[in-house]
Amino acid sequence: MAAVGARPVLYHHPAPAGDAASMSSYFSHGGSSTTTSSASSFSAALAPTTTALAEQFDISEFLFDDAGVAGAPGVFADGAPPVVVSDAAAAGGGGAISAAAGSVAAAAEAVPERPRTERIAFRTRSEIEILDDGYKWRKYGKKSVKNSPNPRNYYRCSTEGCNVKKRVERDKDDPSYVVTTYEGTHNHVSPSTVYYASQDAASGRFFVAGTQPPGSLN
């Protein structure tokens, strides 16, 4: 797994209060290499769309990309944390990412490789649990987890042939935060309107670059 340097850069522009539909969010693919799908799956999975939740959408912490590394929060396969640029996070709960990166990277080196399942988790401040990322999810399970008063919900992408899963649970320390974990890579573009979707030539995967027409980003 070489050249994993593609680090996703996430820009988040909070919507004006009461006007969620005007929110624009886009993701840029922070590198030329897509030999690993971490960045592309991240982009495809997380593009928030224009729904009522937008004003609450606040990506504050990137927890981990599994990448076959158990217990290595907040890091991609190369040990570099994703770059999160969020206007809202700047005013809110961001900042834990870079602090965690160093120790995490060290931990990653010590863990032997195992078959990777692309997993990516992040914490958002949201009143609702189901962040509309543009994909259609079907709930298939709910489970109470130990050491947490909040149940964990299990969702699968309902698009035929796509077996991406996500887990959603409220942060046990701060219920105002929702921890979402995506697992797998979508093999299709978002069912919602996608204005800039690209397909990686090497992997064939799609990743969403934006969900708003270019003119609306201003």
Binding interface with DNA (CB under 7 A): 136-147, 152, 154, 158, 165, 167
In the complex, minimum distance from the CB of residue 47 to DNA, in angstroms, rounded to a whole number: 19
Q: How far apart are CA 132 and CA 156, in angstroms?
A: 13
Residue with smaller CB distance to DNA, 191 or 213: 191
In the complex, minimum distance from the CB of residue 141 to DNA, in angstroms, rounded to a whole number: 3
CB-based contact 74:101 (threshold 8 Å): yes
Residue with smaller CB distance to DNA, 119 or 205: 119
Residue with smaller CB distance to DNA, 34 or 126: 126
Residue with smaller CB distance to DNA, 39 or 157: 157
In the complex, minimum distance from the CB of residue 15 to DNA, in angstroms, rounded to a whole number: 23
In the complex, minimum distance from the CB of residue 76 to DNA, in angstroms, rounded to a whole number: 20
CB-based contact 3:33 (threshold 8 Å): yes
Query: Token digits for 140?
Result: 């298939």
In the complex, minimum distance from the CB of residue 121 to DNA, in angstroms, rounded to a whole number: 11
Residue with smaller CB distance to DNA, 45 or 88: 45
Terminal Cα distance for the chain, rounded: 38
In the complex, minimum distance from the CB of residue 23 to DNA, in angstroms, rounded to a whole number: 22
Q: How far apart are CA 62 and CA 84, in angstroms?
A: 8
Residue with smaller CB distance to DNA, 138 or 199: 138
